[in-house]
Chain A
Amino acid sequence: MSTSWPLWEVFVRGKRGLNHVHVGSLHAPDAEMALRNARDVYTRRNEGVSIWVVPATEITASSPDEKDPFFAPAGDKVYRHPTFYVIPEDVPHL
């Protein structure tokens, strides 16, 4: 029997009010053990108040080879930024 455990990606919420952030990965036989191992490996010094573990095989990522075309739609839309608009300085609260 194969004894290598699947790989899990670990995300930790540092404190209330923050997003979960990717911190690394680990091997574990199931989700519950992955959570426990994640606690021991990634939060030995109160680095987190909440942990997500996700099977690494379940993550779909954008391809780095096409990163320029993939993000191109946002490249030429300067009008999406507030600084695109010229407003007289004496108009308040804008």
Chain B
Amino acid sequence: MADDLERRFERTVQSEARIEPRDWMPDGYRKTLIRQIAQHAHSEIIGMQPEGNWISRAPSLRRKAILLAKVQDEAGHGLYLYSATETLGADREDLTLKLIEGRQKYSSIFNYPTLTFADVGVIGWLVDGAAICNQVPLCRTSYGPYARAMIRICKEESFHQRQGYELLMTMMRGTQQQRDMVQDSVNRWWWPSLMMFGPPDAESTNTEQSMAWRIKRDTNDELRQKFVNMSMPQAEALGVTFPDPELRWNDERGEYDFGQPDWDEFWQVVKGGGVCNEQRIAHRRKAHEDGAWVREAAVAHAAKHARKEGAA
């Protein structure tokens, strides 16, 4: 019987059909998905902070309105994804606790600080650009609710990337100081953006099984290469360079060659040693704890009204 269920699951996945919430699935598949989707949701929620840092200091009302809408989208993306984890039996309160207790991770990119307003543009262009590279294949991931959430997210990420690039184009048309600010920001964010695709394939422990289950569709290194290929012409059009002396077109491969990020730094940040790790979690914890009375009051209000309606 169990073999039968497993065979049906395998057949469904192999035939590119989607697994849906109440279908039988292997425990490992469920656990891997909860871990991956929760980590993704946490990244969206923590990702509100680096850019939120600039909302009150945006240089114009137009930029402020755009930035507010973008940060609100990140919240929305987190909610779509938490909603997907719940279809697998996860509990949202429990996931929030795991995040603020440091028992689940989020993308390391958000542990870097946003030092200038140019960082808002570069995050949109490179960080959201890398996120799009990672996420477009996930629109075809084997778990239905995750794939559907990714479709919504990818549509919205396109706005994020374009507003960032347009912001940078505007700055590049400005003063030399503004152009320097953009280049400085690109220099700081380029390597962390490449790290967003995860460790090299040879060291990626989860890739093989995730690809067999069609949760993941491309390897880390494939996606990283794709991102570099996409970003180079965009950098040229903008008039900035990437801080990698090995970066050059390879005619034979028909792709760009590029250097490796500092993987020691990557692991250090993953393990909590980044500039902003503590600050990000402390802020999330404070928001959660400060909101406790609102959550309680809303429950009390709903209960009171339910009683009144019952009595009427």
Q: Which residues of A contact B (CB under 8 A)?
A: 1-5, 7, 24-27, 29-30, 33, 40-41, 44-45, 61, 63-65
Contact with A along B287-312 (1 / 0, CB 8 A): 00000100110111110011000000
CA distance in complex: A1, B303 (Å): 12
Q: Does B73 contact A (CB under 8 A)?
A: yes
With a cutoff of 8 Å between Cβ atoms, the chain B residues found around residue A7 in the complex are 86
Contact A3 B305 (CB under 8 A): no
With a cutoff of 8 Å between Cβ atoms, the chain B residues found around residue A45 in the complex are 156
Closest B-chain residue to A63, C-beta based?
A: B22
| Cross-chain contact of B76 among A29, A44, A63, A64 (Cβ < 8 A) | A44
| Cross-chain contact of B72 among A29, A33, A44, A64 (Cβ < 8 A) | A44
With a cutoff of 8 Å between Cβ atoms, the chain B residues found around residue A3 in the complex are 93, 292, 295-296, 299
What 9 new A-B contacts, CB under 8 Å, besides A1-B299, A26-B79?
A: A4-B92, A7-B86, A25-B86, A25-B87, A27-B92, A29-B298, A30-B301, A40-B72, A64-B24
Q: Is the interface of B mostly helix, strand, loop or mixed?
A: helix
CA distance in complex: A40, B79 (Å): 11
Number of inter-chain CB pairs below 8 Å: 57
Q: Which residues of B contact A (CB under 8 A)?
A: 20, 22-24, 69, 72-73, 76, 79-80, 83-84, 86-87, 91-93, 145, 148-149, 156, 292, 295-296, 298-302, 305-306
Q: Which has the most chain B C-beta neighbours within 10 Å: A7, A40, A41, A65? A: A41
Q: Which 10 A-B pairs have the closest CB atoms?
A: A29-B298, A30-B302, A29-B302, A3-B295, A64-B22, A25-B83, A24-B83, A4-B93, A64-B23, A41-B79
25 A-B interface contacts by CB (under 8 A):
A1-B296, A2-B299, A3-B299, A4-B91, A24-B148, A24-B149, A25-B86, A26-B83, A27-B92, A29-B295, A29-B302, A30-B298, A30-B301, A30-B302, A30-B305, A30-B306, A33-B298, A40-B76, A41-B80, A45-B156, A63-B22, A64-B20, A64-B22, A64-B23, A65-B24
